[in-house]
């Protein structure tokens, strides 16, 4: 059974712990958080797990196979790097880091240590998204012309990461999954209307090698909560 250490038990961490405990292939061995109240609360649900505020104790456990990181985004890189260097497999919540350079560094360390580095792009396992991919792959839509992604809502407003990294990361992972590859070209424009240097509204265009275009609008400054994907093909649309 895979022994897992959960680092970060705030907003999303409890969902990860619950998912691990629902499978007979994994078990939460460690719970780690700087907030003692959060740590005490989640420890009551998983009394078999060790609890600590020190990451070094988690990573120093030789019986631990992997860690799941669900901390604020700014801490992802350093914790993931330490975990990989401690020979642990890593699941890190999106965004993996706050810039491409750090993400590439983590990939390098994971390859060197021969460890799995995985990002929590959960929609790649979503039934609806997989059904959409099957529909596109079947040819029923014909030749794919373009895709449009809209992910908007009114708050919560984040100050640690912009709308591209927070919201659009889901759509980027979805488009790469359903189109079987990474884009050839990317252009993006964002505006920080609420907090300086943290873009709350982003428009981005991704062009793939087969000239398929995917547009993304992501914002937490919008009166409507929208989660919508449109696929336009030569025969049908979805």
Which pTM does this prediction carry?
A: 0.91
Q: Do residues 206 and 214 lie in contact, with contact meaning Cβ atoms separated by under 8 Å?
A: yes
Task: Compute the residue count for the chain.
Answer: 238
Rounded Cα distance, 77 and 15, in Å: 21
What angle do the packed helices 13-22 and 36-45 form, to 10 degrees?
A: 20
Q: For 125-142, write each residue's pLDDT tens digit.
A: 999 999 999 999 999 999
Rounded Cα distance, 146 and 188, in Å: 17
% helix / strand / coil in the chain, to the nearest 5? 35, 30, 35
Please report, in tens digits, the pLDDT of each residue of the chain (238 residues total): 999 999 999 989 999 999 999 999 999 999 999 999 999 999 999 999 999 999 999 999 999 999 999 999 999 999 999 999 999 999 999 999 999 999 999 999 999 999 999 999 999 999 999 999 999 999 999 999 999 999 999 999 998 899 999 999 999 999 999 999 999 999 999 999 999 999 999 999 999 989 999 999 999 999 999 999 999 999 999 9
Would you list the DSSP string of 176-237?
A: HHHTTS--SEEEEEEE-SSBTTB-SEEEEEEE-TT--EEEEEEESEEEEEEEEEEEEESS-B
Q: For 191-212, write each residue's pLDDT tens digit.
A: 999 999 999 999 999 999 899 9
Q: Do residues 118 and 94 lie in contact, with contact meaning Cβ atoms separated by under 8 Å?
A: no
Domains, the chain, in order of start with CATH, read 2-120 (3.40.50.720), 123-233 (3.30.360.10)
């Amino acid at each position: 059974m895979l022994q897992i250490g959960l680092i970060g038990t705030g907003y999303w961490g409890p969902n990860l712990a619950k998912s691990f405990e629902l499978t007979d292939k994994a078990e939460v061995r460690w719970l780690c958080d700087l907030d003692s109240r959060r740590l005490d609360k989640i420890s009551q649900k998983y009394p078999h797990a060790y609890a600590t505020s020190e990451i070094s104790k988690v990573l120093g456990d030789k019986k631990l196979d992997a860690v799941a990181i669900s901390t604020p985004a700014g801490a992802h890189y350093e914790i993931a790097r330490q975990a990989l260097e401690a020979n642990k497999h890593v699941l890190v919540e999106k965004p993996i880091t706050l810039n491409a350079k750090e993400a590439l560094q983590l990939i390098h360390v994971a390859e060197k240590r021969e460890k799995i580095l995985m990002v929590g792009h959960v929609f790649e396992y979503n039934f609806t998204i997989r059904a959409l991919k099957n529909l596109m792959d079947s040819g029923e839509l014909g030749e794919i012309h373009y895709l449009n992604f809209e992910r908007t809502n009114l708050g919560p407003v984040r100050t640690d990461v912009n709308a591209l990294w927070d919201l659009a990361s889901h759509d980027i992972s979805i488009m790469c999954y359903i189109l079987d590859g990474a884009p050839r070209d990317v252009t993006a424009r964002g505006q920080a209307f609420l907090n300086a240097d943290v873009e709350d509204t982003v428009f981005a265009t991704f062009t793939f090698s087969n000239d398929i275009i995917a547009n993304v609008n992501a914002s937490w400054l919008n009166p409507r909560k929208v989660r919508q994907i449109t696929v336009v093909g030569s025969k049908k649309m979805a």
